Amino acid sequence: MSQPPAPSPRPFAAVILVGGRSSRMGTDKAALDWGGMRAVDRVARTARNLGAAHVLTAGGDYGLDFIADAEAYGGPVGGVMAALKALARMDLSRALVLAVDAPTATLADLRALVEAPAPGALFEGFPLPMMIDLAAAPLDAPSGWPLMRLAEAACLLRLPCPPGAQVRLRGANTEEERRALLAAADAPSYGAAPNRVQ
């Protein structure tokens, strides 16, 4: 007897965190060129290719739908919470939270998060990316909380990091890290179509 098909992942939105100071990079990380695209556009493309029903940025306007941080430079949790409240008004119940400084993350890197059951998940050792159900999120969480505290409060599952994904998920906070990620993205082992639906 054949196995029943796996259930389709529940609809989700993507939230791209762009509100940091970019002090170590020395320039706006969201607007940096990554292989002919701004980092924010590359992350948005990946989110759409994963099936995001809506994509918005938290912390800055880059031509996509956006929500301002509750407190400028108050920390990433403030951006996450502002975005989750906006998504609740759109009747979306889960969000894939992505860092703008990790634009080389592939569909394969992120698929396990999209497929994670409620209340959501993140990878062991990484505060981002994370999938979070709005119903599990403590919407009164202070902006200054670390992302890992938010994950713990929401009881997110901890998944093993996909093989080889660590450097892509860690992203780039300096120009040297950015150059290394771009070089790796151009290498044949990276994959011919990292952000194409497979």
Which whole-number Å values give the CA distances from 197 to 45, 50, 72, 161, 163, in the listed order?
A: 11, 7, 35, 20, 19
- Predicted pLDDT of residue 138: 92
pLDDT of residue 190: 40
Q: Rounded CA gap, 115 and 32, in Å?
A: 30
The pLDDT score that the predictor gives to residue 172 is 85
How high is the mean pLDDT in each 10-residue block of the chain (198 residues)?
56 90 69 90 97 94 88 82 92 94 94 96 97 93 93 97 92 86 66 38
Q: What per-residue confidence (pLDDT) applies to 26?
A: 65
Strand 120-123 to strand 157-159: parallel, antiparallel, or no bridges (unpaired)? parallel
- pLDDT value of residue 135: 95
Closest to 172 in 3D by CA, of 8, 22, 11, 1: 22
CA–CA–CA angle 154, 74, 20 (5° rounding) = 100
The C-alpha atoms of residue 90 and residue 84 are separated, in whole angstroms, by: 10
What is the reported pTM? 0.86
Closest residue by Cα to residue 145 from 96, 97, 81: 81
| Confidence at residue 145, expressed as pLDDT on a 0 to 100 scale | 93
